[in-house]
Amino acid sequence: MHLVHGTKYYGAPYGRYKTPSRESDPRCFIDNFYFAQQDYIAARQKGERWTWSVSRPQAVSDHVPHVSRSIPWGLAVYATLCRARNLPLSFPASVAAYQAIYQCTEATHLAKAIVWIATQKLCANEAFNVTNGDYFRWENLWPRVADYFGVPVAPPRPMKLASVMADHSDRWSSLASRERLRTRPYKDLVLWSYLDFALAPEYDRMSDVTKLRRFGFHDVIDTEEMFIRYFDSYRRKKMIPA
């Protein structure tokens, strides 16, 4: 049995926490479902022939069409609308968040890791951090995003995208019609509140993946290149204009 948890185990959503986080670190001081589920499965497994394992990803990203809870997709729509409005691309959170270390986990990378973990005897009854294996700062990635969409970079400007981006339905519909995009109703296109949450941390988010590598899984993903690949995929699938 395999459980997919996340960095909430270490307290990532609740403020500054110990980084790089290791699987041996103490649990977060705020109780959550991850603890109860793992404890329940571990207790049930004792004396049984089956085993359990856990993966702990961070900011899972996918290029599947129209996944509204997705950082790359949300940024693609945000940047597309900035270009349509002749606006520069401002990072929509604080300078501290712009400069903090961040990490992501590509969905296909996570899937491959899960299959590997779940089928290796040495991984039985163990938990593993699973991220792309690298780290980045938005201040370094953001200019690449702006360049990709052909808009200038502007300094960070804290805002709530859930409010600022809520009233562009007509503009998006017009753009989608003109460019013959494959789209959905604007209200279902991006979960802007998730993007607000994902971009807001003013502290480092770093998971140590040494344990996963030590046990034998060595695949890594270049996160900056992942974003560009996803943007290319969105264009090929006519989800955003070229």
Q: What is the pLDDT of residues 153-181, one digit of tens each?
A: 999 999 999 999 999 999 999 999 999 99
How do the domains of the chain map onto residue ranges?
Answer: 2-236
Quick one: pLDDT at residue 137?
Answer: 98
HSE at residue 112, side-chain half, CA atoms within 13 A, is 14
Q: Average model confidence (pLDDT) for the chain? A: 96
CATH of domain 2-236: 3.40.50.720
**Burial label, 187 (beta-carbon count in 10 A; 0-12, 13-18, 19+):** exposed
**Burial label, 5 (beta-carbon count in 10 A; 0-12, 13-18, 19+):** middle
Alpha helices by DSSP H, the chain: 33-45, 71-84, 95-99, 107-119, 138-149, 161-164, 169-179, 192-199, 210-215, 223-236
pLDDT at 66 over 80: no
Cα–Cα separations (whole angstroms), residue 133 to 59, 139, 151: 13, 19, 29
pTM: 0.94
Pick 7 or 64 by higher pLDDT.
Answer: 7
Quick one: pLDDT at residue 67?
Answer: 80
Quick one: pLDDT at residue 62?
Answer: 87
Q: What is the pLDDT of residues 182-204, one digit of tens each?
A: 999 999 999 999 999 999 999 99
Q: What is the CA radius of gyration of the chain?
A: 19
Token digits for 202? 């003013």
Residue 68: band (very low, low, confident or very high) from pLDDT cuts 50, 70, 90: confident
Q: What is the pLDDT of residues 87-134, one digit of tens each?
A: 999 999 999 999 999 999 999 999 999 999 999 999 999 999 999 999
